[in-house]
Amino acid sequence: EAHKETLGFQTEIKQLLDLMIHSLYSNRDIFLRELISNASDACDKLRFEALDNDSLYAGDSDLGIWIEVDRKARTISVRDNGVGMNRDEAIRNLGTIARSGTREFFSQLTGDRARDASLIGQFGVGFYSSFIVAQRVTVESRRAGDAEDQGIRWVSTGDGEFTIETITRKERGTTVTLQLRDNDADGEEGHEYDSLLDAYKLRQLVRNYSDHIAIPVRMKAEKWDADKQEMLETGEWEVVNQAKALWLRPRNEVTEKEYDEFYRHITHDFEGPLAYTHNRVEGRSEYTQLLYIPKHAPFDLWDRQQRHGIRLYVRRVFIMDDAEQLIPGYLRFVRGVVDSSDLPLNVSREILQESRDIRLIREGNVRRVLTLLEDLAENRKADYVRFWRAFGQVLKEGVGEDSKNREKIAALLRFRTTGEPIRIDVEAPDASGAAPKAAVAEDGIEDAVIKGEENTAGAADGKGKDAKDADEDVKNADGLISLAQYKARMKDGQKAIYYITSDSEAGARQSPHLEIFRKKGIEVLLLSDRVDEWMLSHLHEFDGTPLESVARGQLDLGDLEDEAERKASEEVAADYKDLVERLKTTLGERVKDVQVSHRLTDSAACLVSGEHDMSATLERMLKQAGQ
């Protein structure tokens, strides 16, 4: 009847378990966050499925999470009455990692603990983090809608195999029980697990990891027993978290720490966010948005199938992860939650494509994120550099993708340059928090007025500054400059913003095209990201000043050339007329034209692209791509 089998983990999981147990001990508490997070997801999923099929609740729609400790048996258990798992789901979900990019991710691991630990953090350890503290993990579950004798028990000691059998289980949902590892206080690293059994400490941890969770998390209440002189369980369950959706709480009632924890809950990121913005929007479309910018890029930023992004809720009901319609591709690093008051609960991905509400929310999200970035660039310069290093290449895609916001995005771009590096004064960390921006829609939203009274309005900017990191970033920020800064120090008579593209910054710096600019002391932006050519094909001017490639067409430095120079170069041209003719005949079809140039001061010759031709860098890229 029990039909018990022993199965092996996917190879990657074996690797993950090994690494985790050895690298993540100092972060061992995260297992609790992961288990609570899964239990909460399971409740969200049940609520979502029950929208179509009320009978799944079987009379119990009061969803919750229960956490219990058994000090004698040395176990901790986390139970939920969410959607549960049947046998197939347990085998699949707890025995394989289905995520795209998994294999590539594992190939990046090196065996260097610190480095791997941070990589694993970005990957997300999830359920398997249980094995950091547990020598045996038991999962008992019954899927909503299944009969009582269709329950399952999954057991593993985390060394490559698990067993699964069918059991009878009264409660719907899942219980995960951890048998803690033995203390090893004398061992190399002095591992100690008993403190997790300390109800007071555990309660603190649970509160930390669940305060932002929207459903109640309960633990057994305790009372001081005067006779026995110790805390004893009263037998009552008590709710330990606020159990209110964090994003629906007024901003002034949510602490930085809670914003931080919530971010980790939805992203599995080890580090907190770089910044966030939290707003309630009312008007033609009503919704709440809580959007975060991470500190570092995920390992699969360039993977087209990556599933990150924004979680969509409708009136507090979880609808879907990664609703890509809520944010454009060039802001795909943004994480967070949108809770709409207008969308129908049965909204599907197909409907999302067409929905007017979604379009308004998407535009509102873009506006908020760009405002947040402007704020960072203005007031938290070192953090902005950090952002730029992680996501600048992605943001550049927006210049081509989002013509409506092109000016704004252009102002956020940063460049390497031949000019003097601009140094950032690291502001003293501002403990009071930046004054929230004017609450009323400063960005002229005609369709979405942000109400002033409520405290969730306005662009809260999450702090999270780390002085040491900031210093590091400032050092690396040498030479990064904005288009506005470039313009501010243009030479008298200079009419364009000059740039050069190349495969690498070093290559750009060595280009003979720069000679005349160096001689004249004209600054040139150095572009070497793959996306740059494409971006530049959409960015012709900034704030009224044209952008010009130093390698293209007739170089006209206008007023920057003096009369004497012009005359001299005309004379030179006349002198070399014969040579030019001979070169033209020799090179024939291979070139369009040969000209005497004043571009060069040291080199003898250079290749120049026609005014309307492809640039040499783009040509090279296309060739590499086999076109």
Binding residue per annotation — 93?
Answer: yes
Q: Does 40 bind Mg ion (CB under 5 A)?
A: no
* The entry of ligand ADP, Mg ion, none that residue 81 binds, CB within 5 to 8 Å by partner kind: none
Q: Hey, what amino acid is at 333?
A: F
241 is in an annotated binding site: no
| Residue range at the interface with Mg ion (CB under 5 A); choices 34-42, 178-186, 259-267, 280-288 | 34-42
Q: Which two tokens stand for residue 161?
A: 């195999």
526: which strand partners?
Answer: 416, 500
In the chain, the N- to C-terminal Cα span, in Å, equals: 62
Decide whether 94 or 535 has the Cβ nearer to ligand ADP: 94
Binding segment for ligand ADP among 82-90, 322-330, 480-488, 591-599 (CB under 6 A)?
A: 82-90
Considering only residues 152 through 191, tell me which ones interact with Mg ion, judged by CB under 5 A.
Answer: none
Is 433 annotated as a binding-site member? no
Please state the length of the chain: 627
* 38 is an interface residue for Mg ion by CB under 5 A: yes
Q: Applying CB under 6 A, which part among 123-131, 194-202, 209-217, 248-256 lies near ligand ADP?
A: 123-131
CB-closest chain residue to ligand ADP: 126
The verdict on 127 binding ligand ADP (CB under 6 A) reads yes
The amino acid sitting at 106 is: F
Q: Decide which of ligand ADP, Mg ion, none touches 242; Cβ closer than 5 to 8 Å per partner kind.
A: none
Distinct helix (H) and strand (E) counts, the chain: 20, 20
- The Cα-based distances of 339 to 365, 461, 515, 623 in angstroms read 12, 19, 56, 46
What does 283 bind: ligand ADP, Mg ion, none (CB cut-off 5 to 8 Å by kind)? none
Give the residue with the Cβ less far from ligand ADP, 324 or 469.
324
The closest residue (CB) to Mg ion is 126
Residue indicated by tokens 């959007």 = 291
Q: Is position 291 an interface residue for ligand ADP (rule: CB under 6 A)?
A: no
Cα 514 to Cα 525, 562, 600, 617, distances in angstroms: 10, 19, 8, 16
* The one among 130, 174, 355, 365 contacting ligand ADP by CB under 6 A: 174
Q: What is the DSSP letter of 253?
A: G
Shortest distance (Å) from residue 48 CB to ligand ADP: 13
Distance in Å, CB of 443 to ligand ADP, minimum: 35
Amino acid letter at 449? V
Per-residue binding string, Mg ion, 109-128, x by CB under 5 A, is: -----------------x--
Which candidate, 173, 233, 169, places its Cα nearest to that of 45?
173
Instruction: Please state, in angstroms and rounded to a whole number, the distance separating the CA atoms of residues 284 and 583.
Output: 67
Task: Name which of 130 and 355 has its Cβ closer to Mg ion.
Answer: 130
Tell me the three state secondary structure of residue 546. Answer: strand
By CB neighbour count within 10 A (0-12 exposed, 13-18 middle, 19+ buried), where does 549 fall?
A: buried
E strands in 242-397: 275-283, 287-293, 310-314, 317-320, 335-340
Among 77, 93, 208, 528, binds ligand ADP (CB under 6 A): 93
Of 79, 85, 80, residue with least CA distance to 164: 85
Q: Give contact residues for ligand ADP (rule: CB under 6 A).
A: 34, 38-39, 41-42, 80, 82-85, 93-94, 124, 126-127, 174
User: Binding site for ATP: which residues?
Assistant: 34, 38, 80, 85, 93, 100-101, 122-127, 174, 349
